[in-house]
Homo-oligomer: A and B are copies of this chain.
Amino acid sequence: MNHPPVVAVVGATGAVGVEFLRCLDERNFPMSDLRLYASSRSAGKQMTFRGRVLTVRELNEQSFKGVDLALFSAGGSISKKYGPIAVQSGTVVVDNSSAFRMNPEVPLIVPEINPDQIHRHKGLIANPNCSTIIAIVPLWPLHKINRIIRLVVSTYQAASGAGAAAMQELLDATKAALEGRDYPPTVLPHPYAFNVFSHNAAIDPQTGYNEEEMKMVKETHKIFNDPEIRVSATCVRVPVLRAHCEALNVEFMSPADSTWVRDILSHAPGVKVVDQREKNYFPMPRDASGQGDILVGRIRNDLSDPSGRSIAMFVAGDQLLKGAALNAVQIAELLVAEN
């Protein structure tokens, strides 16, 4: 890899693409050049980066020549097609899609948790699912000390996870509802204004769990390198723009109490404790939006576990930042540091 590297962003005009540029800029990511790629529909668009106007180009098989590092966020089928082409060209790919996450050859990395996995990459590194990252960043420092054996999670997921078009649909549908107009959904399967619905991922007809829920199970196992953690997730969309919340009920191997959890998390990287009982002030998507930390609060001893080994908590994190672009740029920073 050249120093500083030539960087490509694939899916530059999407909701995550825009945040890639913001994170690369804000974190002073070292680059000798930046190239922006998207579909033919977005080719020709102009985006500004560090005062320069860059033109978005249509992605093709030649796009990766001379590119050291590519950040992909253009959906699974683009990653499956162009990821291997990029690797063939000598580019290291950090992929935000689910295409390669469960491939045993591909490291799946959250830099606060398993940065050492960077060393075993063969050109492809996967960025985990947003709901997984937001849950496990605060769980890892606890798990390292007192092993987690069961996790029950219910999510409150924002529109952004379904892309910029879903965010616009939430705004348009809500405006229509306030004006008394009908708004048939086109991006998401159900009316979004003032409504809540089960996550739109495909459902396993046998188990009834959807793919988003199963990502939380499998990715947690892989990232924690602990396939025995028992996870049940219920993934739900709420009418929020860009930050996810999650209610977590966590069972540990040994007794755990809320004071210990609050103490550990107060010093944990990537985590901010927001747990003001006296002010009724806890993690909210409004506060999580635009910041890199995962907010954690409502930390309490789970009343329903008399063995004293369970903790309930509530987290919020920006789906586009730590849930996607920021985590990928942090992985890219590990790559640069490795060279």
Cβ-defined contact, A300 with B178, below 8 A? no
> Which of A46-54, A115-123, A135-143, A189-197 is near enough to bind chain B?
A189-197
Q: Nearest Cβ in chain B — how far from A10, in angstroms?
A: 29
Q: Which residues 251-279 of A have a CB within 8 angstroms of B?
A: 258, 277-278
Chain B residues contacting A85 (CB-CB under 8 Å) are: none
A89 contacts chain B at the CB level, 8 A cutoff: no
Interchain CB contact (< 8 A) of A209 among B151, B178, B234, B303: B303
A280 B238 Cβ-Cβ under 8 A:
no
Given the complex of chains A and B, what is the CA–CA distance between A238 and B247 in angstroms?
13
When the two chains form their complex, are residues B234 and A156 in contact, meaning their CB atoms are under 8 A apart?
no
**Residues A203 and B150 in contact, CB atoms below 8 Å apart:** no
Residues of B within 8 A of A205 (CB): 277-278
In the assembled complex, which residues on chain B have CB atoms less than 8 Å from the CB atom of A203? 277-278, 280
Interface residues on A, range: 35 or more
| Interface segment out of the listed A1-9, A35-43, A70-78, A281-289 | A281-289
Pick from B178, B231, B258: contact of A303, CB below 8 A: B231
Fill in one digit per residue for A296-339: 1 if any B CB lies within 8 Å of its CB, else 0: 01111111111000101010100000000000000000000000
B contact residues around A102 at 8 Å (CB): none
Contacts of A175 in B (CB 8 A): 178
| Measured CA separation A150–B232 after assembly (Å) | 15
Contacts of A195 in B (CB 8 A): 240, 284-286
By a beta-carbon cutoff of 8 Å, the part of chain A in contact with chain B is 150-152, 154, 156, 170-171, 174-175, 178, 189-191, 194-198, 200, 203, 205, 207-210, 217, 230-232, 234, 236, 238-241, 245, 247, 249, 258, 277-278, 280, 282, 284-286, 297-306, 310, 312, 314, 316
